[in-house]
Structure formats: C-alpha cells, structure tokens
Amino acid sequence: GVTLYHGSPDNWTTIAGGDGAYNAIDPDNSSIMYSSYINISIRRHDITVDNETGAISNYYGGSISSGIDTSTYGKGAFINPFILDPNNSSKMYTANKALWRSDNVKAASTSDVTWTNLGTFDGSNSGYEITIAPSNSKVMYVGVGGYRASFYRILNPADGP
C-alpha cells in the first residue's frame, strides 16, 4: 500500500491499498500524487490538507489508466512502471507490451486523462523500467523484461520504441 505522512508521528494515512508499486509526487504541485497497483493500474490523488488539523481528505483518487488498451497489449508486468516527465509534469509514460504516453495526467477529471500508444516492443515482453534524462525529455531508456531482457534507448519518445 501507499501511506502518506502529514505532520506528526501519529499522522499517517493509507491512500492506496494492495501491494504498492510505483509512486510519484507532482514536482509543481505536491498536492497531486500518483500511485500504482498491479496490472497497469495508475491512480491520481488530489490531496487536500487541513492547515489547522493536518487532516487529509480526497486522498483515494481516481484511475487515470483506463484509456490504456490491455485487451490487445496485455496487462503487462505484475507491477508496471510509470514515470512523470521531469520537464513537463502533465506528461506521463507507462508500458505494457507497448509504450504509452499521456499528455494530460492533470486533466480536470481523472476520467478525461487520455493515452497515446507510441508503439510495441519486440516479441511479447512488457516494459519493466522507464527513465527519462532529467535534462532532456527526448532521451528515454526502457527496460523490457522476460527471459532475454532488452534495453531500449529512445531518442524521441514521441516516436516510440
């Protein structure tokens, strides 16, 4: 699960259950957090903190991954990676048997988040790790798993693998 600390040693709140997986905090707005669960399930949490009591609300969040095609490209790894673009926090990448990009993860409603398929990886393997160069969003590395793992260097993620 994902537990959020807010204020004092006894102020911890579980904001997402399950096994826990990838997490991120929006670098431009620390009230926006992302968590993931198994089978390419990503949630956005728009956290509200009461300044007087430290109590948090609106933390359960909503799914932002429903636009990812799992019927064609599978559910991916048990735990799928995701990453916010370090130069544009409205942009996120994730992977199953394809690399996906959302340009609007901060849409007004979580149901309005859309995803673009950037292409598939060789074979039937799924993405296991994604990283983007902090200084240049046009340089991405993706680890694709399986018995014979592959490593992709993608020079313009908009073009896909």
pLDDT-derived band at 110 (thresholds 50, 70, 90) equals: very high
DSSP 38: B
**pTM metric for this prediction:** 0.87
Residue 8 tokens read as 């004092």
Enumerate residues 6+ apart whose C-beta is below 8 A from 137. 85, 86, 87, 88, 91, 157
Backbone angles phi, psi at 111, to 5 degrees: -75, -10
User: What are 65-109's pLDDT values in tens digits?
Assistant: 999 988 888 787 788 899 999 999 999 999 888 889 999 999 999
Backbone angles phi, psi at 13, to 5 degrees: -130, 130
Backbone angles phi, psi at 98, to 5 degrees: -135, 160
Percent with pLDDT over 90 in the chain? 30
Residue 15, pLDDT above cutoff 80: no
Enumerate residues 6+ apart whose C-beta is below 8 A from 40. 65, 68, 70, 75, 76, 80, 94, 96
Of 24, 27, 26, 7, nearest in space to 16 by CA: 24
pLDDT value, residue 49: 78
Dist CA 2 CA 139 (whole Å): 29
Average pLDDT over residues 6-10: 70
Of 27, 36, 19, nearest in space to 100 by CA: 36
pLDDT value, residue 89: 94
Percent with pLDDT over 70 in the chain? 92
